[in-house]
Amino acid sequence: MKIIKFAIALVLIITVVFTIIVYPDLPDEVPSHWNAAGEVDGYFPKIWGAILLPLMMIGMTALFYILPRFDPLHMNYEGFKNYYEGFILAIVIFFFALQTQVLLWALGIQISTNLIFPIIFGFLFIYIGFLVENAEQNWFVGIRTPWTLTSENVWKKTHRRGGLLFKLAGLASMAAVFLGVYAIWFVIAIIAAVTAYTIIYSYLEFQKERKETQSGPS
């Protein structure tokens, strides 16, 4: 959809322009990492602190557009093309939010990461839920386990379940803004739990399907 491509380009341009505008006012060192308490515990030199995230945004956007070309199941992307491009848009918005946090903090406008990170991660998880729900079998996007890639039926079941769980994880992550220093650990625990569950679920569904196939009609 052209409007999604336009939105992706617009966010990239806004990020680059914003960075160029504020660059002269940045200090010699720019925050690169925050600890769980929301305190800066790492810095980059000014130039790298300013350009690293925009470079990552541009690189990842290019990568996500190129990947389907190398996928043996590339034809399946047509079935969820809009959701896939929407995912690219979600990624660039995510990085724009990170870049804004870094630059504003460097300029003295210091909003706690324990308020910002749960919200932006939650936003990303929720959209991943929509993507996962609609993704058709492929090698690069979705819950890719040996069992989902072997069985289309297991793929569909796992992704329906996983899509719901990622959305719930996103909402739970946003709620972590009330947890203070425990926020980031709560977010990590949620996504780790969802990941582990979907892997185990895909294995169990595959074993169930294999047993039904081996038993055959009664």
Percent of the chain exceeding pLDDT 90 equals 79
Helix 2-22 and helix 46-70, axial crossing angle in degrees, nearest 10 = 160
Q: Are residues 148 and 96 in the same domain?
A: no
Contacts of 148 (CB under 8 A, 6+ apart): 137, 142, 154, 155, 158, 159, 202
What residues make up the domain containing 17?
Answer: 1-110
Residue after which a domain boundary falls, among 52, 75, 110 = 110
What is the model's pLDDT at position 3? Answer: 92
pLDDT recorded at residue 15: 96
pLDDT of residue 41: 85
| Last residue in a domain, options 55, 79, 110 | 110
pLDDT at 33: 87
Q: What is the pLDDT of residue 217?
A: 58
Per the CB < 8 A criterion, the answer to whether 33 and 42 are in contact is: yes
Residue that finishes a domain, picked among 94, 110, 126:
110
Distances (CA, A) of 45 to 28, 33, 42, 49, 106: 6, 13, 10, 6, 11
My answer on whether 86 and 150 are in the same domain is no
Q: What is the pLDDT of residues 72-94, one digit of tens each?
A: 999 999 999 999 999 999 999 99
Residue 216: left (phi > 0), alpha (psi -120 to 50), or beta?
left
Residue 22 and residue 81 in one domain: yes
Same domain, 80 and 132: no
Residue segments in the chain with a per-residue pLDDT below the cut of 70: 1, 216-218
Q: How far is CA 210 from CA 45, 59, 138, 204, 215, in A?
A: 56, 41, 21, 10, 9
Residues 40 and 124 in one domain: no
Q: Do 1 and 105 belong together in one domain? A: yes
Question: Domain count of the chain?
Answer: 2
Same domain flag for 51 and 72? yes
- Whether residues 32 and 132 share a domain: the answer is no
Question: Which pTM value belongs to this model?
Answer: 0.90
pLDDT of residue 216: 62
| pLDDT at residue number 42 | 85
Q: Are residues 71 and 144 in the same domain?
A: no
The kind and range of the H/E element at 30 are strand 29-34
